[in-house]
Amino acid sequence: MVRSAAHRRELLKEVYEQARRCTACPLHATRTTVVFGSGNADAELMFVGEAPGANEDRMGLPFVGQAGKLLDRLLGEIGMRRGDVFIANVLKCRPPDNRDPQPREIEACRGYLDRQVELIEPVMICTLGNFSTKLLRADGTGISRLHGREEVRLIGSRAVRLYPLYHPAAALYTPSMLETLRADFQRIPQLLAQGAPEQPEPLEELPELDELPELDEPLEGERAEELDAPEGEPVALPSGGRPADQLGLF
């Protein structure tokens, strides 16, 4: 199905609104804001990191600290800026104390990333660091072996050029890693110029994310237990995050 850019943008905002009210894993209870991702809904290039940190959780935007500044600088060195790309994480809510994401959380959140990729339709996805590289490749090979090696992978229903990179946060304090990251970045324009890989047969309709309970809808069973709500009682579901038009770029 061919969608206009405006249509894709509107659909992306709908997914964002869904994520803002998401209670599908325990992280909803400890987050300050959902960090959906930000950037250009028509981007050819996406970056995918692991999960929001403390600054991101507070501000509702991905990569806002020192690592984000380095990412901006590296983008500038290849003639790009944040408004040209879309930046997201595998997990949309911060794990407490930056602990490792749990399998249940990863599984619950994966649909959001797949949907983002299906709507944005990037040519290329750069995974940032070990975690997102292993997850998107469904393989345990580490980033030190894979960085700078492009391959075609199916993410959701979209075939993309997957290009693993070191995480900018790791490169901040290791000069040799920064030089490697910089060298890998320099290849991005030429890889983008190759265009999108051949796509599988398009889906007529995107698969739906799990239905969310409506606000003030009585909860039952496991869902009520998860939210620590009395069964059958209305509950105000947590929300969080910025209004879609304040994500700045999409």
In the numeric block, which tokens belong to residue 93?
A: 């809510």
Q: Cα–Cα distance between 170 and 128 in angstroms, integer?
A: 10
In the numeric block, which tokens belong to residue 160?
A: 């993309």
CB closer to ligand SF4, 96 vs 202: 96
In the numeric block, which tokens belong to residue 179?
A: 């030089």
CB of 29 to ligand SF4, least distance (A): 8
> Which segment (27-35, 67-75, 136-144, 148-156) binds ligand SF4 by CB under 6 A?
27-35
Look at residue 201 and give its three-state secondary structure: coil
Which residues have a Cβ under 8 Å from the Cβ of 152 and sit 6 or more positions away? 159, 160, 161, 162, 197
CB of 25 to ligand SF4, least distance (A): 3
Q: What is the DSSP letter of 150?
A: -
CB of 189 to ligand SF4, least distance (A): 32
The continuous run of DSSP H or E covering 226 comes out as helix 221-226
Q: Which of 109, 123, 125, 143 touches ligand SF4 by CB under 6 A?
A: 109
> Which segment (15-23, 80-88, 223-231, 242-250) binds ligand SF4 by CB under 6 A?
15-23
Our finding on whether 108 is near ligand SF4 (CB under 6 A) is yes
Our finding on whether 167 is near ligand SF4 (CB under 6 A) is no
Burial string for 203-230 (b: 16+ CB within 10 Å, else e) reads eeeeeeeeeebeeeeebeeeebeebebe
CB closer to ligand SF4, 22 vs 171: 22
> Which segment (17-25, 41-49, 185-193, 225-233) binds ligand SF4 by CB under 6 A?
17-25
Q: Which of 15, 25, 70, 235 touches ligand SF4 by CB under 6 A?
A: 25
Contact set with ligand SF4 (CB under 6 A): 19, 22-25, 27-28, 34, 91-93, 105, 108-109
